[in-house]
Amino acid sequence: MSLRSRLALLATVAVAIAVTGAAIASWAVTRRQLTDQLDNSLTNVQASPGYVQALLRTCGTQQAGAGTSDSSPTPYTIQVVTADGTVCTAPGKSPIKVHADDVAVARGVVSAALHDSEAEDGVVMRVVTSKQTSTPGWAGRPIAISIAQPLTVVDEPLETLAFLLLGVAGFGVVGAATAGLAIARAGLRPIERLTQTVEHIADTDDLSTRIPVTGEDEINRLARSFNSMTAALAESRDRQQQLIADAGHELRTPLTSLRTNIELLIRSEKSGRDLPPAMRNELLDSITEQITELSSLITDLQELSRHEGRNVHRTLRIEPLHDIAASALRRSRLRGPNLSFADDLQPWYVRAERHALERAIVNLLDNAVKFSPPEGEVAISLRGGTLQVRDHGPGIPEQDLPHVFERFWRSPSARSLPGSGLGLSIVSHVVAQAGGNVDLQNAQGGGTLATVRIPGAPTPPPGIEFSES
């Protein structure tokens, strides 16, 4: 069964239950009211003493319980009940079976009785019996007077009402089924459009398809979320394709150079003509350099892929930025033995991923080492949450500054130097992950100044201890 059919069925069942409950309640209330009205009517009817005496005289000249025609028929049946259960019924009326409560009233045990009984002709009667005190007894026996009326005065309206309610309930159920189906069709139309869109995307792999959003209800929120999801998937696919294209382009150069050098060595071995030792050593050094460059490029690609996902789960902890910077500085000193390093690192604690943050700072320091002149100085400082790395190299052309954090981008002046063009892109992603920002500009007096700002505090939160190195 489809969702539309289930919703229509649920609406029909709900309305059927509600209508049936309302019909039963209405019928029960009406029955109770009609019965109360009949009881009040019977209770208010009083047989006059003269009528009772005439009835007793009639009963004295006829066989008890045998009625004769009455010139003035009444809707009520009046009969006399004695203490021993003998009855005297008004002429023209069918005697009513005596109830124990009627005898109790005649004996004076109770003052009145109200019950259902059945006449000899099979008609069900509603009977009210009361003690008769103003009229002498019958043959010296105390009596009570029963006044009765057929229950048909209640049953017939109730029967008519039952048929009416049954018709109304049936009409209500049919109407609910029709309305439920129409409402389900209208309500599920946006979901049907969403389903068609999902099927279209699954069939065509077209992530540019969007669902129209026209409101703020749950269905439109679902459509908006689906549009956001497909947009994120399209962006992720585009980034992946771009990364593959860029990586392929960057890998082609060292692989081509590596292949050329290896082919020269193989050709030399096959021809039997040995290369001069200097040329052979140069080729081997070039192969080693290309392999190192490939290894570095692959490492950078792996690092970049870890940080490019917007929703990738990461474990961020409170880390001492000054300690991370000091560790990065120790690694960079080994790469610039001819340079001098100045540091001023004040305590600052941030929430970040330690390994990634250290890698980012190492990248900044490596750039400073790479572009510093011989015997130059690289300075790193951390004050009030602002980390700065300064070199005294040639600086960056102004037209190149907007592109320095793009993947695989390298300025024309740096293309002859080792590197993949991914270092600053990794820095940007890592700093953004920690909630900060990074900026690169030309320093006054020459050189480049890299500035990293990450929110944090000069002291760690209570309960967290660090082993400073």
171-215 pLDDT, tens digit each: 888 888 888 888 877 777 777 777 888 888 888 888 887 877 777
Is the model's pLDDT at 419 over the cut of 60?
Answer: no
Instruction: Check: CB of residue 76 under 8 Å from CB of residue 148.
Output: yes
Asked if 84 and 141 touch (Cβ cutoff 8 Å), the reply is: yes
User: How confident is residue 297, by pLDDT bands cut at 50, 70 and 90?
Assistant: low
Q: Is 431 strand, coil or helix?
A: helix
Q: What is the rounded distance in angstroms from the CA atom of residue 4 to the CA atom of residue 132?
A: 71
pLDDT value of position 65: 41
Q: E strands of 90-135, at which residues? A: 112-118, 124-131
Rounded CA separation 449/452 (Å): 10
* The three-state (H, E, C) secondary structure of 65-102, written as one string: CCCCCCCCCCCCEEEEEECCCCEEECCCCCCECCCHHH
58-62, 279-283, 397-401: segment of lowest average pLDDT: 58-62
Share of the chain above pLDDT 90, in %: 11
Q: Is residue 284 scored above 90 in pLDDT? A: no
Distance CA 264, CA 415 (A): 25
List the strands of the sheet with 77-82, edge to edge. 87-89, 77-82, 143-150, 124-131, 112-118
Which tops the pLDDT comparison, 366 or 348? 348
Q: How far is CA 292 from the centre of its chain?
A: 51
Exposure b/e, 2-17, CB count within 10 A at least 16 = b: eebeebbeebbeebbe
Distance CA 443, CA 388 (A): 11
HSE toward the beta carbon, residue 262, CA cutoff 13 A: 11
With beta carbons less than 8 A apart as the criterion, state whether 149 and 125 touch: yes
More confident residue, 451 or 62: 451
Residue 115 neighbours by CB under 8 Å, 6+ apart: 99, 101, 127
Burial of 386 (0-12, 13-18, 19+ CB in 10 A): middle
Q: What is the pTM of this model?
A: 0.46
In order of start, what are the domains of the chain with their CATH numbers?
1-44+155-206 (no CATH), 48-150 (3.30.450), 229-308 (1.10.287.130), 317-457 (3.30.565.10)
Cα dihedral 422/427/466/457 (nearest 10):
180
Closest CA to 346 of 259, 264, 459, 465: 459
Q: Which pLDDT score is estimated for 66?
A: 40
The pairing of beta strand 349-352 with beta strand 386-390: unpaired
Helix, strand counts (H, E) of the chain: 9, 13
Cα atoms found within 13 Å of the Cα of residue 109, Cβ hemisphere only: 10
Mean predicted lDDT score pLDDT of the chain: 80
pLDDT in tens, 55-106: 777 776 544 344 433 434 568 888 888 888 888 888 778 888 988 988 888 8
Percent of residues in the chain assigned helix, strand, coil, to nearest 5: 55, 15, 30
Q: In angstroms, rounded to a whole number, what is the distance separating the alpha carbons of residues 466 and 461?
A: 11
- The most confident of the ranges 49-63, 231-245, 268-282, 347-361 is 347-361
For residue 137, give the 3-state DSSP assignment: coil
